Amino acid sequence: MNFTKLCISKFEILLPMLFLFFSSQILAILCLAQVGINTTSPSATLDVNGDFRVRNMTETYGDYVITTDTKGNFSKTKTYLLYDAGEVVASGAVGRSLTGDEIMEDIDLDLEVPVLIPANKEVKVIITYSVPMGTILNSNPPNTYIGATFFKDNTEIQQGSRKVSLSYNASQTNDRICNMSTITNSYVENFSSLADDLVVKYSIKGYIEQYSEQSNLSYSYKFNMWQPGNSNYNWGKASVSYQVYIK
């Protein structure tokens, strides 16, 4: 008997059987297309019954965030992501004096933020500002409006502007209290996708509208703070901040 020939003959018989067996297993895996870890009945492509962690992930800035539902199913959601943020805080008080009936507009408060709108993204910009303003001591005003004017690239955006009335003190006896207020507002703007980057400048400027029967009397006002340093008497400090979100 030729032993070599017999072994080859048996191998030739087993080879097709092995091929059929492993092919069926591979086909079964491809058909099911589900892998379970710590479970024998996966309900997703990868079903993990327990905790998991990922190491050495590549850091990148994407357009999606990963979320889960109450059953642990993962999905990706396209939503606004924080891209940039910043703030400008006033460095000093800004004072102005008016006489009689007088309106003073566009008072420079040194409150401006340049905001970068990146190309090829939907962008949401949120601007928030807070500006203390009022009279100085011993300068109780007549009928006066005082406020903040909101600008985008030197053009007023009215939904961002605000003003208030300063109450009139006829007795003129209150020489230890400033007649003041603080104006705070938020402005939101959406940008469609642009072909190129765009820089937009948002700024806050002061506004005074005074009406006085005494045309020869002068009244003084302050914006941003009472004064720098410790003697600010809780006026606070004016600021303007921005947040840029993209998706």
- CA-wise closest residue to 180 among 151, 146, 149: 146
The DSSP 8-state label assigned to residue 171 in this structure reads T
| pTM score, whole prediction | 0.75
Least confident of 174-178, 214-218, 224-228: 174-178
> Pick the residue with more confidence: 183 or 50?
183
Rounded to whole angstroms, the Cα distance separating 195 from 193 reads 7
Rounded to whole angstroms, the Cα distance separating 96 from 78 reads 49
Residue 188 three-state SS:
strand
Phi and psi dihedrals of 157, rounded to 5?
-110, 105
- pLDDT tens digit string along 116-141? 999 999 999 999 999 999 988 676 77
Least confident of 3-12, 25-34, 173-182: 3-12
Q: Are strands 162-166 and 180-191 parallel, antiparallel or unpaired?
A: unpaired
- CA-wise closest residue to 115 among 80, 81, 87: 87
Q: Which two tokens stand for residue 214?
A: 């005494």
Mean pLDDT value across the chain: 84
Q: How confident is the model at residue 6 (pLDDT cuts 50, 70, 90)?
A: very low
